[in-house]
Amino acid sequence: MGMRAVEIPQFGIEHLRVAELPAPALPAGYVRIGVRAVSLNYRDYLVVTGSYNPKLPLPFVPCSDMAGEVLEVASGVTRWKPGDAVMGCFMPAWQTGPYEEPYAKSALGGAWPGVLAEQVSLPADGLVPMPPHLSFEEAATLPCAAVTAWNALVAQGPIKAGDTILLQGTGGVSLFALQIARLHGARVIITSSSDEKLERARALGAEGLINYKSTVDWDKRAKELNGGRGVDHVVEVGGVGTFEKSLNAVRGGGRISYIGVLTGIQGPINTAWILHKHLTIQGIYVGSRAMFEDLARAFALHRVKPVVDRVHRLGEIADALHYMSSGAHFGKLVIRAGS
């Protein structure tokens, strides 16, 4: 019995196609899931265009973030039964504890085939129960961006009430970081190139708003908004192009979560602040199943709703990726995968 999936036959958004593929196998310990929704990350854009890994074996099914319904469980699986609503872990092998290298080999939609398909088969312990207050479209936004933000602020953090967190832009990680920071009683300062997006961030709880087009020195402005002091934590999603300003904006003894590559990965950086301010720079590569469960518990308790910008159908994947690369979105883009 077959299923539809999106494939990369050769690199380039224009080459993406919906193909008919055989349904995935169900090895011992695995669960077959009827995918209901998939969310997009900037990484998917890099994968599709060949920037992420030019040696990726093609054709390749992209995307890492999925929510769906359990269709069938292999023998020996006791945690799940058909009908359960689940979300997939970005790296199913990272269950708990600190990061270790081999986990990366299980990353979906990169090291391992992705989830932009009507069905996927995943290890039983690589799934997390869907919080009951979320739709499939909303739940599909969590596995990469929300877990990344939780890892940065809470697991590695630790964040506490009264802290000031500086966020860059209004993409998925930043908006989840905003919601998570607010859950913990922290203050948020956020940047954007759009006053309208800043107002939407204010509605989500951001207190300090900086338009980085009209206020080029957003690092200095962030300090002003923090009473002249550096901020406690910067969630750096920009990469090398924004890192120096982040180093300036953070307080002595503060913390920068290094997450993003939007402005590239190589460039000149003045590193003197790292030592003179006794900073901690923590690279964040998504997170573990335990972190995902903690996040889901907190979101369920507070009925936090992810910000979904648009929902597309499977065949509209190219449009969705073009839209994401334009930077016009606010929050997450979702593909409705099921029929």
The residues of the shown chain that bind a copy of itself, judged by CB under 8 A, are 27-29, 76, 95-101, 104, 154, 157-158, 160-162, 180, 183-185, 187, 230, 239-240, 243, 251-253, 258-261, 265-285, 288, 290, 294-295, 297-302
Q: Minimum distance between the CB of residue 270 and a copy of itself, rounded to whole angstroms?
A: 5
Cβ closer to a copy of itself: 3 or 274?
Answer: 274
Q: Are 71 and 119 in contact (CB under 8 A)?
A: yes
Q: Minimum distance between the CB of residue 280 and a copy of itself, rounded to whole angstroms?
A: 5
Distance CA 170, CA 45 (A): 17
Q: Minimum distance between the CB of residue 269 and a copy of itself, rounded to whole angstroms?
A: 5
Residues 6+ apart with CB under 8 A from 187: 162, 163, 164, 165, 181, 207, 208, 226
Cβ closer to a copy of itself: 23 or 290?
Answer: 290
Cβ closer to a copy of itself: 57 or 97?
Answer: 97
Q: Minimum distance between the CB of residue 235 and a copy of itself, rounded to whole angstroms?
A: 12
DSSP assignment of 149-175 equals HHIIIIIS----TT-EEEEESSSHHHH
Cβ closer to a copy of itself: 34 or 131?
Answer: 131
Cβ closer to a copy of itself: 36 or 245?
Answer: 245
The angle, 0 to 180 degrees and rounded to 10, between the axes of the packed helices 317-326 and 42-49 is 110
64, 40, 50: which is closest to 9 by C-alpha? Answer: 50
- 3-state SS of 299-313 is HHHHCCCCCEEEEEE
Q: Minimum distance between the CB of residue 93 and a copy of itself, rounded to whole angstroms?
A: 11
E strand or H helix at 123, and its extent?
strand 119-123
Q: Minimum distance between the CB of residue 48 and a copy of itself, rounded to whole angstroms?
A: 18
Q: Judging by beta carbons within 10 Å of its beta carbon (0-12, 13-18, 19+), is residue 18 exposed, middle or buried?
A: middle
